[in-house]
Structure 1
Amino acid sequence: MNITIVAGARPNFMKIAPIIEAIKEKKEGGYDINYRLVHTGQHYDKNLSGTFFEELNIPLPDSNLEVKSGTQAEQTGAIMIGFENELKQNPCDLVIVVGDVTSTMACTIVAKKAHIKVAHVEAGIRSGDMKMPEEINRMVTDSVTDYFFTTSTHANDNLRKNGIPKSRIFFVGNVMIDTLLKNEHRLKQPSIWQTLGLFKKKYLVMTLHRPSNVDQEHELKKLITQIVDLGKDFPIIFPVHPRTQKLLKNLNLNFKNLIYVDPLGYLEFNYLVKHALAVITDSGGITEETTVMNVPCITLRDSTERPETCVIGTNMLVGNDSEKIKNAFKILNSGNWKKGKIPELWDGKAAKRIVNHITTAQG
């Protein structure tokens, strides 16, 4: 059995690492299974992709499509052309896509048109926000996928409502948490810890990258100014995404407690998250990691495709509503943030379940 695994952007690398490991274990156990790793090049900055291969012990890709930046349409087109050629030269029995980035959708379409079955890891999650490119990617991918591997019962419900038969839905858990649990003991203190004189639970971490938060300069300035003011008693560590960095140059936001840093590798970033008083973010994946590490998380979005992080975990949605943001900080500063629990099957064994299901289904 030959499998092609697709990765394109930073969140993908955390998800493919345990899948590759599970495939290797299956092969060592005598099963005839091989994989080929294709990196689309959607994220090509070393801090956004390169370091992940080293830190998470992921083999170098067998192929890199090197699509790099561009509009949504330009990236999608370039990925599809590159991946079509990849599959012609290297036929396979199954394509595995993960998450909800442009590469996920584009490679799924190409595979299905080539009559190759597709397994979608992290299938069925929905935010209900059609302004998010990721939401469209999820919906398109799930409309043609063959095997749906889900992280939660919420995702199962979404798929069933869309008419997906129960026999094609596999509730396996969360591969991103597989990676976190395996590497938690390896988390590495970044150099800025000493440089800035940081102390555990005495600083905040902030990440921003979604167009709804960063594309309007006035709104971005207003949002950051409020967060800096509410968090004035603490340093706010802000690893800046490349697309956000371009926008910030025009805003001249110089606050004493707001500290810009370059994007960090997986081990260093999660060290900061684990020991932070709280995380302020608009990322979906980070809300999963904060839930497992029991770190308060303030999410600057009106909806989430990961409701379990709010219902069960440590996450609170505030959007960019100034009153909700203020209230979240009030709860945080009072020490009364909710105590989260770890969602069902987020136990570090999701990838093994996925590979077991795939090998059973394929025979």
Structure 2
Amino acid sequence: MHAPDGFIDAPISAAAGLLAAGAIAVSLRGARRELDDTSRPGAAGVGAERTAPLAGLVAAFIFAVQMLNFPVAAGTSGHLLGGALAAILMGPYTGVLCVSVVLLMQAVLFADGGLTALGVNITTMAITTTLVAYALFRGLVKVLPRTRRSVTAASFVAALVSVPASAVVFTLLFAVGGTTDVSLGKVAGAMVGVHVLIGLGEAVITALTVGAVVAVRPDLVHGARGLRQKLKLRVGGELVDAPDTGVRPVPAAARSPRRVWIAGLVTSLVLAGFVSFYASADPDGLEKVATDHGIDEKAEEHAISDSPLADYGVKDVDDARLSGGLAGVIGVGVTVVAGTGVFWAVRRRRTEEEAEATSPAGTSV
């Protein structure tokens, strides 16, 4: 759903840019608390310094999976937006930043999504999906049994709803700032209809990813905080809670997430560098609707359309498989480095604030 330049006029694009900037500023402050990680049982002083690389990895994974367009209807494809996945794994504020980092890398390196439309894309793909998905996810986990299956099921529903919600927000922006005179009713129906189908793919990817992480390291999933299952014993053919012996195992949060990080990075590199070659070449939902309904009549060529990595290929590399694979690997590498750098800076600022608050100067009146 990367909108190019020219779909939305300058005033609304600027307004969306201001909204995106404000949301990012708020998210930077909120992410400091999420990345601090001290609210998780057993995490204080242990896991806090490791959350920045994990957040950078989530951004890189989203970048990689967004390269895997999947067919959803005749001549139409879809791809992961990632807001629900990032919010559930890292928290809503960090989730907004994760997806925003991905969108920025795509716009400035791969000419995917217009530069003047960056605010529009952050508003629709980062802010809307993250907030809608996380609000729905939290509501569901409150009423469902606190089990791993419930977390996975809630992530499926949250991701499913977040995609058509993003389509609705884009349609609203187009209604007030569209550059072409088209039937808004038809556009709205087409956008929501195709993105419900794309949402099913988003839901499957999100649920599978969250379920896989929850199964091995629930302490690394923000949305699964406090999820504990008592040991069960079979007595007389029935399962009962095991007695509390007073012996506490080493908290999962005290274990290094290095293996998870390495596995996630390798998976991202394989997806972007190899599997992406087999992705659907059909236009995605927004592209298809834009073509069918004339939204793209005033679309503008990307400002860096001749960049070395434009259209997810390496310039002057003739072999399509190699060109796309190298571009994907470069994209994952740049995103994980940029994302980790951003989150390290956010985390460090949190540490400095805590130091100032506890210093004699910080406590004086």
Which structure shows the bigger proportion of residues in strand conformation?
1
TM-score computed with the length of structure 2 as normaliser: 0.22
Higher relative contact order (CA 8 A, sep 6+): 2
TM-score (structure 1 length as normaliser): 0.22
Question: Highest Rg: 1 or 2?
Answer: 2
